Amino acid sequence: MLRLSGVRTRFGRFTVDSDTRQLLRNDSEVHLSPKAFDLLWALLQERPRVVEKAALHARIWPETFVVDANLNVLIGEIRRAIDDTPQKPEFIRTVHGVGYAFCGTAAEVRKDHAPPTTLFSWVVWKDKTFPLSEGDNVIGRDPGCGIWLDAPGVSRRHACLRLDSARRHVALEDLASTNGTFRRRSRVQGEISLEDGDQIRLGPVQITVRLWVSDQAPETRRIRRKAK
């Protein structure tokens, strides 16, 4: 078993806790076998570097000979747990003939020195409110997206909102959508920073991004009532 380092690593809607050996989706635990957890943690620790299969074998099965098929099974288990696919990888990238790499955006937070959350953010569409999670929040027509917009003209994985609460920062990136992503009538190219009240258009659908800095609680309560 790998020796872990007492930190939490967050990516998208997921958190990996090295002390409790848990994978969490938001606040709900997602089951992973012990070897799959060790493999996921190894890839997170080495990100974004590609880890060769031989190195992963040595870390996951020390002093034991196993075939590559065992590694493939664990990678498949991890991908199912974190809603990833080999065809369009968001987190786990296969480098054929070499190994694997964690390719998503992740942030480490030590439990004993974790900074307080300083920014909360949510998205408003019609009468619905979608709170943003730390890290990547994918918007799209696919029900597996963190922000599910079931509307014609929205791509299955249309855009991504990236929340970094410690830096009080929310960024928007288009994910090669068919009909484009726009802010204030300008098409989004690359990654852009957002402000409270920004209107975002995804094809024919318009959403509003709301930001709340935690040291402005009275304002926040007013904003929340408006958002509803």
DSSP string over 132-173: PPSEEEEEESSTTSSEE---TT--TT-EEEEEEGGGTEEEEE
| Alpha-carbon span 219 to 89, nearest angstrom | 39
Question: Picking from 45-49, 89-93, 163-167, 208-212, which range would have the lowest pLDDT averaged per residue?
Answer: 163-167
Tell me the three state secondary structure of residue 29. Answer: strand
Indicate if the pLDDT at residue 139 is higher than 90.
yes
- Summarize the confidence of residues 24-47 as an average pLDDT: 90
- The pLDDT-based confidence of 102 (bands split at 50, 70, 90) is very high
Indicate if the pLDDT at residue 216 is higher than 50.
no
The pLDDT score that the predictor gives to residue 124 is 95
CA dihedral 166, 210, 13, 111 (to 10 degrees): 30
Indicate if the pLDDT at residue 212 is higher than 90.
no
| Alpha-carbon span 107 to 12, nearest angstrom | 10
Indicate if the pLDDT at residue 59 is higher than 70.
yes
Indicate if the pLDDT at residue 222 is higher than 70.
no
- Summarize the confidence of residues 206-223 as an average pLDDT: 63
194 residue type, one letter = L
| Alpha-carbon span 47 to 137, nearest angstrom | 20
The pLDDT score that the predictor gives to residue 6 is 56
Instruction: Judge whether 14 and 2 are in contact, CB under 8 Å.
Output: no
149 residue type, one letter = L
CA dihedral 42, 43, 49, 50 (to 10 degrees): 100
Indicate if the pLDDT at residue 120 is higher than 70.
yes
- The mean pLDDT of the chain is 84
Query: Exposure string (b/e) for 148-170, b if CB count within 10 Å is 16 or more?
Result: bbeeeebbebbbbbbbebeeeeb
Give the N- to C-terminal CA distance of the chain in Å, as an integer.
48
- Summarize the confidence of residues 30-38 as an average pLDDT: 92
Answer whether 0.75 is exceeded by the pTM: no
- Summarize the confidence of residues 179-208 as an average pLDDT: 93
Indicate if the pLDDT at residue 117 is higher than 70.
no
The pLDDT score that the predictor gives to residue 111 is 57
Tell me the three state secondary structure of residue 95. Answer: strand
Indicate if the pLDDT at residue 119 is higher than 90.
no
- Summarize the confidence of residues 192-202 as an average pLDDT: 93
- Summarize the confidence of residues 56-81 as an average pLDDT: 86
Share of the chain above pLDDT 70, in %: 86
182: nearest Cα among 198, 196, 166: 198
Indicate if the pLDDT at residue 1 is higher than 60.
no
CA dihedral 199, 216, 161, 48 (to 10 degrees): 150
**Strand boundaries in 57-146, DSSP class E:** 92-95, 99-102, 107-110, 119-125, 128-131, 135-140
- Summarize the confidence of residues 178-203 as an average pLDDT: 92
- The pLDDT-based confidence of 118 (bands split at 50, 70, 90) is low
Question: Distances in Å between the alpha carbon of 213 and those of 18, 119, 170?
Answer: 29, 5, 12
